Structure 1
Amino acid sequence: MLLAFLEGNNNAFSLIYDKYVDELFAYGIGLGFERETLKDAIQDTFFKFYTNKKQLNGITHPKYYLFRMLKNRLFDIYKSLNKENIVEVTDLPFLIEPSVLDELIDNEDKLTLENKIKNLLEILTDRQREAVYLRFIQEMEYEEVANLLDMTAPAARKLISRAIKRMRDENI
């Protein structure tokens, strides 16, 4: 798909957009952004993706690249809204509600799963929650999670491992 897009196939761009737009939206909601702000940021992300084809030649995972672009765009928006309280991108809270997971869960036993997931995620730190979301819901590799969270791959593995241990220890 990416190769076809880079060769000028606009239908391939549409396929990339359709494949990732909902996942990007769910990720942005998890970061705590309002829907309208998020829609604008996603539009900006795909516009930049489309217009900067030359920078995409070395990209092998468009999903990771789009997540990184969106997170950077959202951080820029966050900084512009909070000029006097500038924080690091790693300090942004990561909130994920069952409503974000609606499209990711089968309708069968949905309520039970939502409650269990919500209880599990509530015991984690924002950073752990984001790492678990990226690794297991978005199925990213540890290296991709690490890059998105601005840490090393071993640190990402350790963070996720501690999150899993914490959930197991709670016996939920």
Structure 2
Amino acid sequence: MASTFTDNDDKVLWQRFRQGDEEAFTALYQRYVRVLYSYGKKLATEDAVIEDLVQDLFIDLWQSRSRLADAESPRFYLFRSLRRRIHKAGNGRFNERWEYIDEGFHPVELSKESEIIESEQFQKQKDELDAWLKSLPGRQYEVLMLRYYQDFSYSQISEMLTINEQSVRNLVQRAVSKLRQLTISAAISGLFIFLLK
């Protein structure tokens, strides 16, 4: 889910926006409003609150554009700003929802029955992954999302969460280890059930 735009594109838009260019502001808004909303939904439980916070973020940006510093990564700046707003609003409870993109690679034509079976198996795997992700502590869940779904670096996550970089790495490692343990235990349980039949 990483952005297809480069940091350089964002920097140029950010500079133009800071100088009062409405088109650059609109481009930044259109580029980030959905991804910020999606990120916010994972941190808070009320969709309407997230919508308001994202809109307020962009309104405040426009109103204070001349006082804003030059951002090394506008994308990072926006994510961090939204995260702060969510926690400041007191709505910083982690939401246990996770969104997926339903995409599949089908190199050969499958019969309708095979497609239905494959779709059901895929849905079952997604449901299992969702349950495993929901079992993670909030911080582990958040760092996985930021690292692997939003493609932030460890140092950016560290700054965003106001913890040191090694702590971010430790959280990612613990989360991945826990997911690995869960998948192994699920495989062993499945094998055991299969052998009992």
Give the structure-2-normalised TM-score. Answer: 0.70
Give, in angstroms, the shift of residue 38 of structure 1: 1.2
Confirm or deny that 1:3 pairs with 2:28: no
Give, in angstroms, the shift of residue 113 of structure 1: 5.7
For the Cα contact (< 8 Å) 2:36–2:79, is it kept in 1?
A: yes
* 118 and 12 in structure 1: CA distance in 2 versus 1, 3 angstrom threshold: same
Confirm or deny that 1:26 pairs with 2:35: no
Task: Provide the C-alpha distance between the structure 2 equivalents of 1:159 and 1:106, rounded to a whole number of angstroms.
Answer: 27
**Which runs of 5 or more structure 2 residues have no equivalent in the other structure?**
1-12, 105-118, 187-197
SS at match of 2:90: helix
1:16-37 per-residue CA deviation (whole Å, 9 max, x = no partner) reads 1111111111121111231211
Task: Provide the C-alpha distance between the structure 1 equivalents of 2:95 and 2:45, rounded to a whole number of angstroms.
Answer: 10
SS at match of 2:31: helix
Could you tell me the percent identity over the aligned residues?
Answer: 27
Q: What is the aligned length? A: 156
Aligned equivalent of 1:135: 147
1:103-141 per-residue CA deviation (whole Å, 9 max, x = no partner) reads xx1444673563243033123111100110011111111
1:30-53 per-residue CA deviation (whole Å, 9 max, x = no partner) reads 112312111111111111222222
Give the structure-1-normalised TM-score. Answer: 0.79
Task: Provide the C-alpha distance between the structure 2 equivalents of 1:167 and 1:41, rounded to a whole number of angstroms.
Answer: 32
Query: Which shows bigger deviation, 67-76 or 157-166?
Result: 67-76
Aligned equivalent of 2:62: 50
For the Cα contact (< 8 Å) 1:41–1:74, is it kept in 2?
A: yes
Aligned equivalent of 1:157: 169
Larger Rg: 2
Aligned residue identity for 1:149: L
SS at match of 2:89: helix
For the Cα contact (< 8 Å) 1:93–1:127, is it kept in 2?
A: no
Task: Provide the C-alpha distance between the structure 2 equivalents of 1:164 and 1:140, rounded to a whole number of angstroms.
Answer: 17
For the Cα contact (< 8 Å) 2:80–2:160, is it kept in 1?
A: yes
| Aligned pairs (5 A) from 1:55-70 | 55-70=67-82
Give, in angstroms, the shift of residue 151 of structure 1: 0.2
Task: Provide the C-alpha distance between the structure 1 equivalents of 2:141 and 2:65, rounded to a whole number of angstroms.
Answer: 32
